[in-house]
């Protein structure tokens, strides 16, 4: 289908071409999340949450189930040794996964004796430190991506996990319910969206990995009647931030200006995204009901990290 853009700033023209098509590459899904490009396997990995299927897509094979993860797996990323880190949404744990057989190694389940809520999305710093959001979404009742159960505490934090020591520490707990997150290119800033408050919070990241000085980076506009909240979030090579939200993908400059929206509704609802492909300009969008693909003028930052040899098997 033809791309539809809501343009608020002319800088959007340097990022994305309105003449590009947006194609449905994996139809007939339930609710897809956790988009990440596997440079070793040259494939997209993603999760179909309600049926707990961990899936892949290639141009040759299309979308297929790799294995069943049994936990409504959600956000995922590669760590500094090229291993897949997965938010096990309904098992309330963060794990490492072997994508060949689906074997999981549990990394953390509790913080100071209190069970995690429902790890949602995750990002790894280049030194191996893992940051993940822990909202209550996976404990909601009568939701396809959740298993209804009591919420263990009032905390809705971002946690920091050190895989070298096994230490889990609090990063920040200033959210209504945190969701997507991503680093700046120099890893000195961490962006986290706060879904119920429709905004993006940015933190300074200290050398030891701790977070400080939270402040609002941007508000997520609500241009129509779509009640979707801010969700998955990534940056491109120019440090423009792409954040799933009402109507589609909201695109922000590094100064916090909202440049425009790549509209996904009413066809579908955008939940997460990842860049991949040979040149890093293929943009994959996981949605309710499908996975979509388009192209951007800029490359995803993950492609630059790949060129530097980061997040590959050691």
One-character DSSP codes across 18-53: TTSB-EEEE-S-S-EEEEEEETTTTEEEEEEGGGTE
276 and 235 in contact (C-beta within 8 Å)?
no
φ/ψ region of 126 (left if φ > 0, alpha if ψ in -120 to 50, else beta) reads alpha
Six-digit token string for 19: 């003449």
**Span 149-154, average pLDDT:** 96
Domain 5-307 sits in CATH at 2.120.10.30
H or E segment and range at residue 168: strand 167-172
Mean pLDDT across 115-141: 97
What's the rounded Cα separation, in Å, for the pair 33 and 288? 9
On the CB side of 234, CA atoms within 13 Å amount to 26
Residue 51 CA to residue 67 CA, distance in Å, equals 11
Please determine, for residue 224, whether its predicted confidence score (pLDDT) is greater than 90: no
Confidence of residue 221 (pLDDT cuts 50, 70, 90): confident
pLDDT computed for residue 225 by the predictor: 67
Task: For residues 72 and 284, give the distance between their C-alpha atoms in angstroms, rounded to a whole number.
Answer: 20
Spatial distance between the Cα atoms of 284 and 294, rounded to a whole number of angstroms = 7
Pairing of strands 211-219, 233-235: unpaired
Question: Which band of pLDDT confidence, cut at 50, 70 and 90, is reported for residue 295?
Answer: very high
Count of C-beta atoms within a 10 Å radius of residue 295: 18
Residue 181's nearest CA partner among 91, 75, 276 is 75
**DSSP H helix total and E strand total for the chain:** 1, 27
- In angstroms, rounded to a whole number, what is the distance separating the alpha carbons of residues 131 and 169? 10
* pTM score: 0.97
For 273-293, write each residue's pLDDT tens digit.
999 999 999 999 999 999 999
Give me the helices (H) in the chain, please: 301-307
| pLDDT for the residue 110 | 98
Beta bridge partners of 97: 84, 104
Identify the pLDDT of residue 84.
96
d(Cα 266, Cα 247) in Å, to the nearest integer?
A: 8
Return mean pLDDT, the chain.
95
Q: Dump pLDDT digits (tens) for 227-238.
A: 789 999 999 999
pLDDT confidence band for 265 (50 / 70 / 90)? confident
Three-state SS for 51-72 is: HCEEEEEECCCEEEEEEECCCC
Average pLDDT on 126-131 reads: 97
Distance CA(29)–CA(72), nearest Å, equals: 14
φ and ψ at residue 36, rounded to 5 degrees: -155, 140
Joined together, the tokens standing for residue 261 give: 């929206």
pLDDT of residue 37: 98
- What pLDDT score does 205 carry? 98
Overall average pLDDT of the 179-197 stretch: 97
Q: With 90 as the cut, is the pLDDT of residue 102 above it?
A: no
Is-contact 5 15, C-beta < 8 A?
no
- Cα–Cα separations (whole angstroms), residue 57 to 15, 65, 117, 286, 293: 25, 9, 30, 12, 11
Domain ranges of the chain: 5-307
Rounded Cα gap, residues 54 and 85, in angstroms: 13
Q: What pLDDT is recorded for position 2? A: 82
């Amino acid at each position: 289908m033809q791309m539809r853009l809501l343009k608020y700033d002319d800088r959007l023209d340097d990022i994305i071409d309105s003449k590009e098509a947006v194609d449905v590459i994996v139809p007939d899904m339930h609710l897809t999340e956790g988009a990440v490009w596997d440079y070793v396997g040259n494939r997209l990995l993603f999760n179909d949450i309600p049926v707990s299927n961990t899936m892949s897509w290639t141009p040759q094979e299309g979308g297929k189930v790799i294995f069943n993860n049994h936990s409504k797996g959600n956000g995922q990323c590669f760590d500094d040794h090229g291993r897949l880190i997965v938010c096990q949404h309904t098992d309330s744990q963060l794990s490492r996964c072997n994508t060949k057989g689906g074997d999981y190694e549990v990394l953390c389940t509790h913080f100071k004796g209190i069970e995690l809520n429902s790890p949602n999305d995750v990002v790894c710093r280049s030194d191996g430190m893992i940051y993940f959001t822990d909202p209550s979404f996976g404990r909601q009742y009568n939701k396809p991506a959740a298993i209804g159960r009591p919420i263990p505490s009032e905390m809705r934090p971002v946690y920091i996990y050190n895989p070298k020591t096994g230490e889990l520490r609090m990063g920040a707990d200033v959210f209504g319910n945190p969701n997507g997150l991503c680093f700046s290119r120099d890893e000195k800033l961490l962006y986290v969206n706060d879904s119920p408050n429709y905004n993006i919070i940015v933190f300074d990241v200290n050398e030891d990995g701790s977070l400080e000085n939270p402040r609002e980076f941007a508000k997520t506009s609500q241009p129509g009647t779509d009640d979707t909240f801010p969700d998955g979030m990534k940056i491109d090579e120019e440090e423009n931030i792409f954040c799933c939200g009402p109507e589609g993908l909201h695109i922000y400059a590094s100064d916090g200006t909202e440049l425009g929206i790549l509209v996904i509704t009413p066809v579908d609802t955008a939940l997460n995204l990842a860049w991949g492909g040979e040149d890093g300009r293929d943009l994959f969008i996981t949605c309710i009901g499908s996975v979509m693909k388009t192209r951007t003028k800029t490359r995803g930052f993950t492609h630059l990290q790949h060129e530097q040899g980061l997040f590959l098997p050691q």
